[in-house]
Amino acid sequence: MTTVEAPRSLDFIREIVEDDLRAGKHERVVTRFPPEPNGYLHIGHAKSICLNFGIAGEYRGKCNLRFDDTNPTKEEAEYAHAIERDVRWLGFEWDGEPRHASDYFEQLYGYAEHLVREGKAYVDSLSAEDMRQYRGTLTEAGKDSPYRNRSVEENLDLFRRMRAGEFEDGAHVLRAKIDMSSPNVNMRDPVLYRIRHETHHRTGDQWCIYPMYDMAHPPSDAIEHVTHSLCTLEFEDHRPLYDWLIENLPVPSRPRQIEFARLNLNYTVMSKRKLLRLVEERHVSGWDDPRMPTLAAMRRRGYTPAAIRNFCDRVGVARRENVIDVALLEFSVREDLNLTARRVMGVLRPLRVVIENYPDGQTEEFETPNNPEDPSAGTRRVPFSRVLYIERDDFMEDPPKKFFRFAPGREVRLRSAYFVTCTDVVKDADGEIVELRAAYDPATRGGDSPDGRRPKATLHWVSAEHAIDCEVRLYDRLFRSENPEESGDFIADINPDSLEVVTHARLEPSVRGAAPLTTYQFERLGYFCVDPDSTPERLVFNRTATLKDTWAKVSSKQ
């Protein structure tokens, strides 16, 4: 019997796995992650990845990556490469080389012929419309196809001619012969093979018939000796067919299908078909647009693998469908970046400040920690000079009672530097504020006063002489409603303010030369990531998340 160390938490699937191991049903746990290469992986897939690879790792088993590439009309090698990249980025490695359903096409065809010879499959020549009529409804039984009682010899002949390419798409299909009166419509002689004269991205034009998912998946699991075939709840009604095929095919093992609740997020659509529409209709810039829920988009936005794994762990594994608040995902990334992201000062909407009593032409540096949560991250030196930029929102000429930041006559602390007091406001011909004049207290170097003064506000700033000019993309949620599909047209629910581009933000010089995907916390502003669009001459940053959940405040007012 295999000895098992208890994992961190025991959900119902892990309880099943442990029971099977204790009973000696399996010597080694084998799972698989079986995506279809017809789009990019999204956050819902991350839950399945973490579950399949996580269980295999916890029980010293193995997890296969197997592409369900049975539909050549929608699948591309680009998607397969992106899937491999995403799984590795999340921190997982599959057993051996990636596997493909197409690796087993010859074997699957042989299994199909086996069913025909056993009288358990037949070639049907009904049109697609007639087949739907014969299938019945949820409340009415189906009826047998007039082709259901073809002889074994005729079925074998037709099926082989289907493979040889003699027939047009839709002329025939191969169906399992089960029970047209079954209350489970998936058992009413389901289609196993269909004709598709399409070039496959791996097998080329070798095949013109392709197995359906329900035909390919169970025997592929069995060929790979998968012990626990984990899938989401929409496949629960397919389990009888999964078991029927395993029982009626000469497969080398007997895998068990177990269903769990898929990941549903509010303010999000998770259908690859709908995500593809967003891309094709150019509502977003691509599959990796940082507003998308794809893993490629999250990586580009600055999400970390650890944050996503922690989120999936928090969500857990359940039997019932539920909707998770996207705020939990955002909390997970804030929690991780708070511990790991280097701090820098940056100003998104610069307001010029001239410190009139600071020596003209003088520059000094202040040492400040790279991450107060991580002393091992060290410190950096930030330049200070007579002319600075502060955030425009940090100044009000006529402030309300609870506004404690910069205002005429008011003293504030500049982070790690000096106390400064606003002495004058400079406006242009239209009355717009273009510059502030200020005085500093030399005795407060480092941000402390020898006489115990404690300003109520501490502002971030950058030296105008040393600042780097950058583009910053402020991303927000792509949809306005918790359920974008509720109205029937999710496109109409797109948030028109989901992206704001700030073209002339100013950042401290320590970010110069930062590599793409490097993450930072812009102090007091949020978490940001260097976008791959950056060039050596000009950095572009994406906002990963604000420091706090600003949507919670907005929602409470609606």
Residues tagged active-site? 36, 262, 272
DSSP state at residue 542: E
Question: Token digits for 438?
Answer: 């200020």
Q: What share of the chain is helix, strand, coil (3-state, %, to 5)?
A: 30, 25, 45
- Look up tokens 């150019």; give the residue: 282
Compute the distance between CA of residue 476 and CA of residue 467 in angstroms, rounded to an integer.
Answer: 26
Contact yes or no for 298/308 (Cβ under 8 A): yes
In this structure, which amino acid lies at residue 391?
A: E
**Helices 77-89, 43-58: inter-axial angle, 10-degree rounding:** 60
Q: Which residues pair with 365 in a beta bridge?
A: 383
Question: Which residues, 6 or more positions from 57, have their beta carbon under 8 angstroms from its beta carbon?
Answer: 63
Question: Token digits for 455?
Answer: 């300003």
CB 397: neighbour CB atoms within 10 A? Answer: 12
- Look up tokens 């058992």; give the residue: 187
Q: Is residue 108 classed as helix, strand or coil in its secondary structure?
A: helix
CA of residue 522 relative to chain centroid, distance = 24
User: Residue 474 phi/psi, 5° resolution?
Assistant: -95, 105
Question: Which residues, 6 or more positions from 135, have their beta carbon under 8 angstroms from its beta carbon?
Answer: 142, 180, 185, 188
Question: Token digits for 439?
Answer: 């005085």
Compute the distance between CA of residue 54 and CA of residue 61 in angstroms, rounded to an integer.
Answer: 10
**Helices 105-117, 152-164: inter-axial angle, 10-degree rounding:** 160
Contact yes or no for 431/415 (Cβ under 8 A): no
Contact yes or no for 111/160 (Cβ under 8 A): no
Compute the distance between CA of residue 449 and CA of residue 268 in angstroms, rounded to an integer.
Answer: 49
Q: Is residue 475 classed as helix, strand or coil in its secondary structure?
A: strand
Compute the distance between CA of residue 269 and CA of residue 42 in angstroms, rounded to an integer.
Answer: 10
**What number of residues does the chain have?**
558
Question: Token digits for 385?
Answer: 């000079």
Compute the distance between CA of residue 22 and CA of residue 16 in angstroms, rounded to an integer.
Answer: 10
Compute the distance between CA of residue 411 and CA of residue 519 in angstroms, rounded to an integer.
Answer: 32
Per DSSP, the residues of 323-382 read EE-HHHHHHHHHHHHHHHPEEE-EESSEEEEEETTSPTT-EEEEEEES-TT-GGG-EEEE
